[in-house]
Amino acid sequence: MQYVKPDRKLTIDYVPMDMLLMVQDSVKAGDIGALIYANRDDVFSAHMVLVAEKGGKKYIREATSKKGTIDTPYEEWVNTMKVTNKYLGMAFMRVRDELNKPGKIILPWEIHRLKARLDEDGG
């Protein structure tokens, strides 16, 4: 357990549940979402999802233990999650466009070199 860090406070930016429908046009296919619990202080993310796009329509792609990987229309997914009152909102993460190459897998040992290259380029 040498890599476990001591308890600490974490401040993150997130989109509140009641605002998720308003940002639908701003999220992009490939964005990663971390669903944030409303009443837990011991867990950062309740669930991770991926934004997908099919036929010009946005979907939330998630893995479930019962159904496997499923795609739910973005608006339907947001409305379903809002009524539970279990979540504060969603923190979104996006791979930088200059690194996001179709079919490219960034291996952990490549991260330092990629960051250094972006710093040199002013990114």
Show Cβ contacts of residue 27 under 8 Å, excluding neighbours closer than 6 positions. 33, 51, 58, 74, 92
Fold held by 15-96 = putative xylanase like fold (2.30.260)
pLDDT-derived band of residue 73, with 50, 70 and 90 as boundaries?
very high
User: How much is the pTM?
Assistant: 0.77
Q: Please compute the mean of the pLDDT values over residues 51-62 and round it to a whole number.
A: 95
First-to-last CA distance in the chain?
35
Q: Cβ distance 85 to 35 under 8 Å?
A: no
pLDDT-derived band of residue 56, with 50, 70 and 90 as boundaries?
very high
pLDDT computed for residue 84 by the predictor: 86
The whole-angstrom separation of Cα 111 and Cα 19 is 33
For 28, which DSSP code?
Answer: -
Q: Which amino acid is at 56?
A: G
